[in-house]
Amino acid sequence: MDFALSEEQTLIFDMARGFGEEHIAPNARKWEAEGNIPKDLWPQLAELGFGGLYVSEEYGGSGLSRLDATLVFEALAMSCPAVGSFLSIHNMCGGMIDKFGSDETKAKWLPALCSMEKVFSYCLTEPGSGSDAAALRTRAEKTNEGYRMNGTKAFISGGNYSDVYVTMCRTGEDGPKGISTLIVENGTPGLGFGANEIKMGWKAQPTSEVQFDDCLVPLDNLMGEEGKGFAYAMAGLDGGRLNISAGALGGAQNALDLTVQYMSERKAFGKPINQFQALQFRLAEYETKLQAARTFLRQAAWKLDTGAHDATKFCAMAKLMVTDVAFEVANGCLQLHGGYGYLADYGIEKIVRDLRVHQILEGTNEIMRLIVSRQLIADAA
């Protein structure tokens, strides 16, 4: 088995890392304070092919694998997990449209998605249906004029910021088989937004409710088939969980890199603190955990790329393992900085705040355990 990245994959990682260091890292604290990512950043990322990572080249995408994409998000998160993760949500929408949309749907939406002329958000979660996504209540009634949609989505990254919202809504019976996917463009009559949420982390990206009040969506904005929306959403989440894991991994790696440097400079009792064996053991433990998490994440991505029957289980396991490990490492790195870790100037406290949500979104880590255990039980039956 060869675990080494190919030359092309190494170039992809280095390109993303270099872009982040030049254009994102110097601005990360400023964007966090402002609660906003300048929109002119996205076309610059799109020029590198990062706007439609796994969209087919026919529609302006890069046609990369899920493994390739994890390299991009890991590298960008080393500069700012909030920015890299927002891009991953945009790409999740692109992957769904490319995989499940009709030729007409792809031609209509994907070129602007890939160029990032339009930024896309994913709308599944509702105030009353988080982990139980199949219980969503946002309803779209089909009329001669279009789908008339009513309901509210919660915790939407890019609410009142993005240009297009890929929205799961109920067009039929209760349960997953009554859910469809509509693509709603900003400016559609009846589309509104709540106030920006005040969050612990990911402060740079605006997050709000997305509200539909007799929102009239054109009939041809249906993605794929009616009643298949829940399956589309869950398929999108497999890749989304890999990306969120990669973002957590990149943030934690940056925290560890900063900590190794800090410990070589910080002195106590007459010598650098990296000379104390107890602290050296902590570094060894963190490095081992991150390398193990990275290997497992890439195996899960390979499973998804090859269509393995247990890909969903492996994506869930990767999300569970990597995001837990990443937060543990980042939090430990803050401890190794002592009081300085609590100060914004050292960059660690932001990483800790940003990475905490990676254990919650794209399905909480409790739900990941449920997915894995159910698959184990089903396989044994």
**226 labelled catalytic:** no
Task: Give residue 83's Cα distance to chain centre.
Answer: 10
Token readout for 38 is 């300048």
Report the b/e string of 335-355 with b at 16+ CB within 10 A: ebbeeebeeeebbbbbbbbbb
Q: Residue 317 in contact with residue 373, Cβ under 8 Å? A: no
Q: Residue 118 in contact with residue 165, Cβ under 8 Å? A: no
Among candidate residues 74, 209, 349, 362, the one labeled active-site is: 362
Report the b/e string of 136-151 with b at 16+ CB within 10 A: bebbbeeeeebbbbbb
- Rounded-to-integer distance, Cα 91 and Cα 94, Å: 5
* Alpha helix stretches (DSSP H) within the chain: 7-19, 28-34, 41-47, 66-77, 81-100, 103-115, 229-265, 277-306, 311-336, 348-356, 365-380
- Rounded-to-integer distance, Cα 351 and Cα 336, Å: 14
DSSP-based helix, strand, coil % in the chain, nearest 5: 60, 15, 25
Entry field: residues in the chain: 381
Q: Just list the catalytic residues.
A: 362
